[in-house]
Amino acid sequence: MRITGMEYVVIGAGPAGLQLAYLLQRAGREHVVLEAGPTPGTFYRTFPRHRRMISINKPHTGWYDPEKDLRVDWNSLLSDDPAARFTRYTGRYFPDADDYVRYLTDFGRGLNVRYGCRVRRVSRGVLNGFEVSCENGQFLEAQRVIVATGFGAMYRPAIPGIDTTEGYWDMPVDPDGFTDQRVLIIGKGNSAFETADHLTEHAAVIHVAGPRSINFAWRTHFIGHLRAVNNNFLDTYQLKSQNMVLDGDILNIERRPDGYLVTFSYARRDKVVRLAYDRVIACTGFRMDTSIFAGDAMPALTINDRFPALTAEWESVNVPGLYFAGTLTQSRDFKKYTSAFIHGFRYGTRALVHMLDRKYHGVEWPHRTIPAESLADAVLDRINRTSGLFQQYGFLCDVITPDGRYYQELPLDYVPFADCVTVSLEYGAGHDTIDPFDVRAGRAWEADPAHDDRYLHPVIRRRRDHRIVATCRLPEDIGNDWTDDKLYREPLRTFLAEAW
């Protein structure tokens, strides 16, 4: 079957692909989503391996505000239908991955998704578009391609012998098979500690190793760092229960008939040791699968060749018309913000559709016009309710132009207006270097716009000729409540009045 004249071909029907399908359908764009599996969310049928997700699911907020509820609902996709929320599928704070597959399957009903269509090749077309061929014989021509496949391959660092080890992606998950064994886990992310925790009751010895110390999400505020739900293993190390966390470099892995011999160099000791294990498991992450791209459509890569190199519009830097959505867009904010995760990229995907509408279809970014005397009220209303700026802190912003047009949720590094005011929520500089449980109280109650808050707080910037010429930082609030007139409304009104 040959299909021509498509505006958009989307590859992948995970959460990003379904979000795109919903938004493109609502915008009236001609599109189709190609999915290799029989249902949406094929990735979640296997991962996480031990089935507990670390994305927050909180049905009971006490807010009764669908927009604000999304601040603690990290799994739902954006929809005009209030019933299309994942919180209706389970009450578990850390949900089971199988429940998420059910949710995605239901969300996908009525969307233009073709299942069982594994893409074999993406190449350039004769008229600067793209040709997409599938293993089932389908062939499509499209003006633009949006890749929303997520991670399709595994990443292994360049360690001699690592190819002889087991991987997180295909290891057996029955812990009985590890009984009384010595196990080395390579990596210090959530998959490594999730695996260690899963094996703790059965393995004799577990070592978790990596070149750097552990980064805790509660300190860095990057949720991809180690989460509390996965750090029970640390008790078994610090309370001397045979397990260890090792900082240093693995120099070599030698496979032997009776197990493995690993050469290890300590990070803070001038010492190289050889350690024996029965099993070695690589929990070293994922990367984009580039095997579907022909040479003329091969995107440039970045970050150890794991991700596509992208413009501020999430377009390939070297293949015009090739866009990306979902977790692959994290190369723009790698290990800083939330583009790697559903509760971040759902807003990025909505922004992408607005970008495409503006760039190719002559549709201006949605906005409303607000009188100058009401701008401060509009800003405070937004920062007290918005889920987009809250979840994509430091990355997305609202924009106000001198004529009072108010635009919502543009990437800060994309803003196309030379003269404007941006509104964002951000953590303060150095927030990841302090103990979040031992922060000295500041003088936020004095409403000093220059107060150096470490926690999340509103940041309003005046731009002129694309340069920042003035900044107002409203004080942080432990409950994210920015309604007080003296602390927030009056300083903001003054700043906005002087901005123009």
| Selection from 13, 9, 14, 17 nearest residue 139 by Cα | 9
Please indicate, yes or no, whether residues 353 and 375 belong to a single structural domain of this protein.
Answer: no
Evaluate whether 398 touches 423 at the Cβ level (below 8 Å).
yes
For residues 149 and 295, state if they share a domain: yes
pLDDT digits (tens, 9 = 90+) for 367-394: 999 999 999 999 999 999 999 999 999 9
Helix H or strand E encompassing 323? strand 322-324
* 66 vs 71: CA distance, rounded Å: 10
Q: Are the C-beta atoms of residues 32 and 112 closer than 8 Å to each other? A: yes
Q: With contact defined as beta carbons under 8 Å apart, do 70 and 59 qualify?
A: no
- Show which of 326, 342, 360 is a domain's final residue: 360
| Residue bearing tokens 């583009």 | 339
Q: Quick one: average pLDDT of 210-235?
A: 91
Give percent above pLDDT 90 in the chain.
85
Task: Yes or no: say if 350 and 386 are a contact pair by the CB < 8 Å rule.
Answer: no
Is the pLDDT reported for residue 450 higher than 50? no
Residue 72 pLDDT > 90, yes or no?
yes
Claim to verify: residue 21 and residue 145 sit in the same structural domain: yes
| CA 497 – CA 371 distance, rounded (Å) | 12
Q: Whole-prediction pTM value?
A: 0.93
- Does 323 share its domain with 188? no
78 closest CA partner among 90, 60, 89, 66 = 66
Among 333, 360, 387, which residue terminates a domain?
A: 360
CA distance 66 to 79: 11
pLDDT score recorded for residue 445: 38
Q: What is the DSSP string of 224-262?
A: TSB-GGG-THHHHHHTTSS-EEEEEEEEEEEEETTEEEE
Reported as a pLDDT band with limits 50, 70 and 90, residue 448 is very low
Instruction: Name the token pair of 269.
Output: 């000791």
Residue that terminates a domain, selected from 325, 342, 360:
360
Q: What is the CATH number of the domain that holds 264?
A: 3.50.50.60
Task: Write out the DSSP string of 151-215.
Answer: --EE---S-TTGGGSEETTTS---GGGGTT-EEEEE--SHHHHHHHHHHTTT-SEEEEEESSPPP
Instruction: Give the model's pLDDT for residue 35.
Output: 97
Mean pLDDT of the chain: 93
Q: Give the Cα separation of 432 and 296 in Å (integer).
A: 42
Total structural domains in the chain?
3
124 & 8 share domain:
yes
pLDDT exceeds cutoff 80 at 127: no
Q: Are residues 148 and 28 in the same domain?
A: yes
Q: Is the pLDDT reported for residue 4 higher than 80?
A: no
Confidence of residue 484 (pLDDT cuts 50, 70, 90): very high
- The pLDDT value recorded for residue 446 is 42
Confidence of residue 240 (pLDDT cuts 50, 70, 90): confident
pLDDT digits (tens, 9 = 90+) for 314-360: 999 999 999 999 999 999 999 999 999 999 999 999 999 999 999 99
Res 218 pLDDT > 90: no
| Closest to 37 (Cα-Cα) out of 169, 167, 152, 123 | 152
79 and 180 belong to one structural domain: no
**Tell me: the pLDDT tens digits for 40-71?**
999 999 999 889 999 999 999 999 899 999 99
Is residue 125 located within the same domain as residue 72? yes
Per DSSP, the three-state class of 299 is: coil
Residue 444 pLDDT grade (very low, low, confident, very high; cuts 50, 70, 90):
very low
The verdict on 31 and 65 lying in the same domain is yes
Residues 422 and 415: beta-carbon distance below 8 Å: yes
474, two tokens:
């409203």
Q: Are residues 7 and 149 in the same domain?
A: yes
What pLDDT was estimated at residue 429?
Answer: 84
Of 243, 191, 247, nearest in space to 214 by CA: 247
Q: How many helices (H) and strands (E) does the chain have?
A: 10, 24
pLDDT on residue 449 = 45
Q: Which domain range does residue 261 map to?
A: 162-284
If asked whether residues 67 and 197 sit together in one domain, one would say: no
Q: Are 145 and 41 in the same domain? A: yes
